[in-house]
Structure 1
């Protein structure tokens, strides 16, 4: 006799999340991944643009909501519905106290700055629609990180095209005037992909070389739009799927009447998706450039300081001094940095066995890679893989 199992009633959960961006779609993917691993939910979600996530239909009834709480109108609707809510917006609205999961802006700023500092950049700028408080919040973190390095950060308020009162030509001319007067080479960090692509377009129209004079990095990935500019736009890969998964986990607890261990969680971005808009070195020393290019090409093979010095006709002491002055580390520390970066990428994006990853990163054994990795990151490779995949 076949044993009958009682049907599990699906929770009805509304998602107030835009579906027009990679961030929104990946957050929804994280939510659905959680649901597939647990009790069933029916998700109420409609296609929507970046700034217009659809609210639930009038008189909608359900069990909970996951929302990008971006404006007072959404807050009012959520309070009227009176169901458990988890917020996945980085925007801080006064008077709201919903449990929240977001990107760690400080860590994102640190990642962006280190990325450009590792390429020798000493001039930085930030661009975005500053009338949005969240854009200004990110700028605050960026300035703090650079201030610790003794560096300033220029800024430019570029409203979204649908909010811009100027005509296209006036808007482009104002941006180009700003770009021309900036010190070069300069690293520009854009709030999202739209301002970044506008910067690349503006540079192309006045023959300002990207990335050699102006390198551009977006704070968020949005495929395939990042490939529509020429050169293609590099971006910070935010943990949107992990944010969605964690938000679903928190909402599940709330709908079951259980208290949350933490009401606010933030996740650091793990890597930068490198494309042509940042493919450059802001260094003029020919010996240093030659050494860095050699290290990039051979970092994942057995390599020693003697191998490096055999390619570049300077003394060991002078080479060490040049690296310390320009990059703040030694040549072999640069090799280690590249290997750890590649190990992180492989742990995040593949299911390769640990020994295969070790060999791909230039280590003979997994045990030695694990020792170096844990010393640099604080956790083992296996712990890192588990953490990044929730």
Structure 2
């Protein structure tokens, strides 16, 4: 990619006919516009897939991307470029590009009704039905029999969300199971307090235990927050699965979030390949590529564990949120509302371990997850996992795993490489 093509203003790309001829005489790369909202993890992954295609094929394109995504359609109809790859989930983008005279590849969500795809435009889609299917099947595997879907209020820009909601409803109807849909409110600072209260009231009203599929990780994070507000144990009473596998959402969740990973980079790769072929006249205008999800990243939020003791359930809910903040057994007992001795009896009867051992398990689980990222210093791993010092974390790892944290991480990476 040429650095000269990365510009933040369409005015630099709008040229006179004479200037355009001069440009083509002096430069061979095609000029391609990428119309995406780079504030979203999904869009960034699609863009990354486009970049991977260019690197793997050595195709040279001068790429235009708007610095402010809100302005991405301004002037585009007058742009004298060679091709466009665009997010057609945004109806404004789809309408603006409906009759532009240069090759366009659309990227967006899949539709159960094929007539909803844009006519005469090659289209690369994430498979909305399979995204929901992966989440739904995972919750069924956890032994759950009640299900809910947390979506978005319908708007022209949320057609993909409606498709996922419809897919959920079809699955529930086919299996003759209980299903509930909740759309909530659009996210805004002014209305967030009321929206969270409404959501907390909704989760309190649900029959339990229940598995909930959130339309995105952002909505899943809101749902987990509402479960904390409503004092409802996750995943013992409500198991949650999101969609996107967004690392930012993971960082902001107190409870590690299970999430379906979209094949967004594969979508970007396919879109770039389609446009490359279109630029040379080798692709049909009604081509459609539906990209399945890559898999599901299973974390604590969906691992439903039916428990007999409500005291253990409440205690684990508290531990899951605060284990890495250095909590003591007495604080857990205070939260549950019983004596430490009685709580220990419940733990030994149901989990065959002490409260302290359960707290330590969560701290070690957090540390092991962080050790997978070699960019995180070991001292930070220790602090963020709730250990009082790096030396103490070393001592615990030697006692529990007979190795140092660094050796544990290296062994885990070696095993992962062997599997692939």
TM-score range (shorter-chain normalised) is 0.5 to 0.7
2-side partners of 1:223 and 1:264: how far apart? 29
Q: Structure 1 residues 159, 118: CA separation in 2 closer, same or farther (over 3 Å shift)?
A: same
Contact 1:20 1:47 (8 Å CA) reproduced: no
CA RMSD, 1 decimal: 2.9
Give 2:72's aligned residue: 54
Q: Structure 1 residues 83, 191: CA separation in 2 closer, same or farther (over 3 Å shift)?
A: same
Contact 1:158 1:195 (8 Å CA) reproduced: no
Query: SS where residue 48 of structure 2 aligns?
Result: helix
2-side partners of 1:262 and 1:274: how far apart? 37
2-side partners of 1:8 and 1:213: how far apart? 62
* 1:261 CA displacement: 9.2
2-side partners of 1:104 and 1:227: how far apart? 26
Query: SS where residue 175 of structure 2 aligns?
Result: coil
Give 1:11's aligned residue: 30
* 1:75 CA displacement: 2.5
| Aligned: 1:275 with 2:299 | yes
Query: SS where residue 109 of structure 2 aligns?
Result: coil
1:134 aligned to which of 157, 160, 164: 160
Contact 2:87 2:106 (8 Å CA) reproduced: yes
1:196 aligned to which of 203, 220, 235: 220
Give 2:61's aligned residue: 41
| Aligned: 1:176 with 2:196 | no
Contact 1:250 1:260 (8 Å CA) reproduced: no
| Aligned: 1:161 with 2:203 | no
| Aligned: 1:70 with 2:89 | yes
Give the paired residue count.
284
Q: What does 1:240-319 correspond to in 2, within 5 Å? A: 240-260=264-284, 263-282=287-306
* 1:282 CA displacement: 4.6
2-side partners of 1:7 and 1:157: how far apart? 53
Bigger Rg, structure 1 or 2: 2
**Whose helix fraction is larger, Structure 1's or Structure 2's?**
2
* 1:351 CA displacement: 10
2-side partners of 1:91 and 1:54: how far apart? 23
| Aligned: 1:81 with 2:103 | no
2-side partners of 1:240 and 1:53: how far apart? 23
2-side partners of 1:26 and 1:53: how far apart? 20
| Aligned: 1:103 with 2:126 | yes
Q: Structure 1 residues 79, 204: CA separation in 2 closer, same or farther (over 3 Å shift)?
A: same
Query: SS where residue 108 of structure 2 aligns?
Result: coil
| TM-score for the superposition, normalised by structure 1 | 0.66
* 1:352 CA displacement: 8.1
1:219 aligned to which of 243, 250, 260: 243
* 1:262 CA displacement: 6.5
1-side partners of 2:416 and 2:233: how far apart? 41
* 1:56 CA displacement: 6.1
Q: CA deviation digits over 1:133-168, x for unaligned, max 9?
A: 321211111122233322132011123213x8x733
2-side partners of 1:68 and 1:26: how far apart? 12
Query: SS where residue 82 of structure 1 aligns?
Result: coil
1-side partners of 2:304 and 2:117: how far apart? 45
* 1:198 CA displacement: 1.0
Give 2:318's aligned residue: none
Q: What stretches of structure 2 of length at least 5 have no aligned partner?
A: 1-24, 309-412
Q: Structure 1 residues 191, 150: CA separation in 2 closer, same or farther (over 3 Å shift)?
A: same
Q: What stretches of structure 1 of length at least 5 have no aligned partner?
A: 1-5, 285-349, 358-384, 386-390
Contact 2:142 2:303 (8 Å CA) reproduced: no
Query: SS where residue 89 of structure 1 aligns?
Result: strand
2-side partners of 1:351 and 1:40: how far apart? 36
Give 1:116's aligned residue: 139
Contact 1:48 1:54 (8 Å CA) reproduced: yes
Q: CA deviation digits over 1:250-293, x for unaligned, max 9?
A: 11111111133971111111311122212333577xxxxxxxxx
1-side partners of 2:414 and 2:73: how far apart? 38
Q: CA deviation digits over 1:214-269, x for unaligned, max 9?
A: 11111222212222111122210000000000011111111111133971111111
Contact 2:224 2:253 (8 Å CA) reproduced: yes
Q: Structure 1 residues 55, 283: CA separation in 2 closer, same or farther (over 3 Å shift)?
A: farther
Query: SS where residue 239 of structure 2 aligns?
Result: strand
2-side partners of 1:172 and 1:8: how far apart? 54
